Amino acid sequence: MHPQIPSVGDGMHRMDAALVRCDDVARTYGSGPGAVVAVHGLDCDVPPGARIAVVGPSGSGKSTLLHLMAGLDRPTAGTVSHPGLDGADAGALARHIGVVFQGPSLLPPLTVAENVALPLRIDGVPDTEADERAQVALARLGLADLVRRLPDELSAGQAQRVAVARVLARGPRLVLADEPTGQLDRSTGRQVLAVLLGAARELGAAVVVTTHDPRIAGELDVRWYMADGRLIRPEAGDGGDDRTGHPTDQRASGGEKT
Ligand SMILES: Nc1ncnc2c1ncn2[C@@H]1O[C@H](COP(=O)(O)OP(=O)(O)OP(=O)(O)O)[C@@H](O)[C@H]1O
Ligand SMILES: [Mg+2]
């Protein structure tokens, strides 16, 4: 059994706690004169159910931030914590946090159905149940007809939808997607994002998406802007991106969702 949601006994504060919290987080690559500070002094929260776009120019630190949030990378200063998730070990994070990458990520020798079922099997889900959950996730993303195909036999948009299905089949509480539409044409990209957001909403999962595309960013509820490794808080009155309701609070938050 892998409980996905804190039990009633955990109390309401656990239910409301941020899925990811960054406190004065920095990540520096290398050392000495050639060191690159990819992210610095970053404070942010991702509350349950939030839908956040992280926008910024190339090299501004978006991927670095996402990897830190996922626990795929460690900060060189500050702390990244997951107060709203059960357990903080790598296994728990992998179960609760699904990551979608930009490029091809499916295993070429496995069929679509096998690709989606594999992480569940690795989690210890019995084969029959893993297969069923894979089918449900694929059907939710409109891929039921493609289950026996190999990744090479898919379009880029279909392959990315399979990658999304693979993440959602595990029932994550947080989906982190790093330019999930970056290699797709605009209309396919919007379709993939729409199914990702729709399926995440059904699951009640929070979503953080990095993107260069303002239209993609516009599909999410909140936008965080990055520049030179810093999270720039939206200015008041720029379209209501800041939903924290605390104008003096320097912490970026996904804002309260109702
Ligand atoms: N493994 C690494 N080694 C050294 N420097 C790195 C490494 N990864 C990233 N960087 C540097 O850190 C900074 C932030 O990179 P990051 O990939 O987070 O930016 P990004 O906003 O995701 O850019 P893009 O939009 O191009 O994907 C850049 O200056 C980049 O060159
Ligand atoms: Mg990037």
What structural domains and CATH numbers belong to the chain? 49-71+87-241 (3.40.50.300)
Ligand 1 neighbourhood includes 182 CB (under 6 angstroms): no
Ligand 1 neighbourhood includes 64 CB (under 6 angstroms): yes
Kindly give the distance from the C-alpha atom of residue 93 to the centroid of ligand 1, in angstroms, as a whole number. Answer: 23
**In the prediction, which pLDDT does 215 show?**
87
Which has the higher per-residue pLDDT, 14 or 195? 195
Task: Give start and end residues of each alpha helix (H) in 89-126.
Answer: 90-96, 112-122
Is a pLDDT exceeding 70 seen at residue 4?
no
Is a pLDDT exceeding 50 seen at residue 51?
yes
For strand 20-29 and strand 36-46, is the pairing parallel, antiparallel, or unpaired?
antiparallel
For CA atoms 258, 66, 178, 61, the dihedral sign is positive
Query: Which amino acid is present at 57?
Result: P
**In the prediction, which pLDDT does 211 show?**
92
Contacts of residue 242, defined as CB under 8 A and 6 or more positions apart, other chains included, come to 222, 233, 234, 236, 255
* Closest C-alpha residue for ligand 1 atom 13: 38
Index of the ligand 1 atom closest to the CA of residue 60: 21
Kindly give the distance from the C-alpha atom of residue 59 to the centroid of ligand 2, in angstroms, as a whole number. Answer: 7
Lowest mean pLDDT of 110-114, 199-203, 238-242, 253-257, name the range.
238-242
Is a pLDDT exceeding 80 seen at residue 169?
yes
* Closest C-alpha residue for ligand 1 atom 2: 29
The Cα 193–Cα 177 span in angstroms is 10
Provide the whole-model pTM.
0.86
Distance from the Cα of residue 237 to its chain's centroid:
27
Q: Do residues 65 and 54 touch, judged by C-beta distance below 8 A?
A: yes
Is a pLDDT exceeding 70 seen at residue 23?
yes
Q: Give the whole-number percent of the chain exceeding pLDDT 70.
A: 85
What confidence tens digit (pLDDT) does each residue in 91-150 have?
Answer: 778 889 999 988 888 999 999 999 999 999 998 999 999 999 999 999 988 899 999 999
Ligand 1 neighbourhood includes 225 CB (under 6 angstroms): no
Q: Cβ of 133: how many Cβ atoms within 10 Å?
A: 18
Ligand 1 neighbourhood includes 62 CB (under 6 angstroms): yes
Q: What angle do CA 194, 199, 205 make, to 5 degrees?
A: 115
